Structure 1
Amino acid sequence: MESVTEIRQGVTRLARRLRAVRAPGALSNNKLGVLGNLYRGGPASPGELAEAEHQQPQSLTRVFAELEADGLVSRARDQRDGRQSVLSLTPAGKDALRREVAERDAWLGSAMGELTETERQVLLLAARLMDRLADSP
């Protein structure tokens, strides 16, 4: 299916370009993903965050530890299950996430300025559809 290939290629190229906009010393994509999930969904267990990131919890152990050491997330015992921990976004984590996203949004906003209003609306619709697709099993 040619359309599937074209969509995949477009999404991949845009994702690469957005990653390239990052400033030196920027947070890794894994860290941004965790912070973004905590921002959108609130406190979560490491397992829930790993599932949301489509990764194994062991793969994110270091990421969680580094985010906690940097004061971007806090860890507490789960009230329902004391064996589990729950990670929460700290105010410093929100600020870091905002700074990181602002750089990429600034570039994207500038690039989108070259599009017509109709093209921007089509792109917004496509973004919403891609977000839905990303949640598909």
Structure 2
Amino acid sequence: MYQIVVPVDDDVDRAVAQARYVTELPGDPNEVSVIVAHAYRDTNRTTEKPDEESQAVIEAINCLRDSGMAVEQRELYVPVAESILDLTADVDADAIVMSGRKRSPTGKALFGSVTQSVVLDATVPVTVVSVE
């Protein structure tokens, strides 16, 4: 079974683009297992989920399940990049599919970039998809 981690935020367009990329990968969808991981803006590492589920998570999961893939949902907490990498290692994932936000080089330097950190520190292939 090929395991993919798909970390999403609350942007529906980015989450759907990530899910569509995964569904278009070659091979049998029944041989792919996907973990959709969502980062809440909570600064505490609690196990409580917010009352409402993110629409981006719902849309990504529906897209993946409609293609016949096994999907699981996990929660991520800050620091998000570290949490993504920890999850990837914990589940022995084969790949990460994420979407970056458009930021200026200055914005990345001042505020950091989760995508950039994951790309630089991951031990598995990372695909960064864009929203068209």
Interval containing the TM-score (normalised by the shorter chain): under 0.3
Structure with greater helix share of residues: 1
Q: Give TM-score scaled by structure 2 length.
A: 0.26
Question: Which structure shows the higher strand fraction?
Answer: 2
**Which one scores higher on RCO, CA 8 angstroms, separation ≥ 6?**
2
Q: Which has the larger radius of gyration?
A: 1
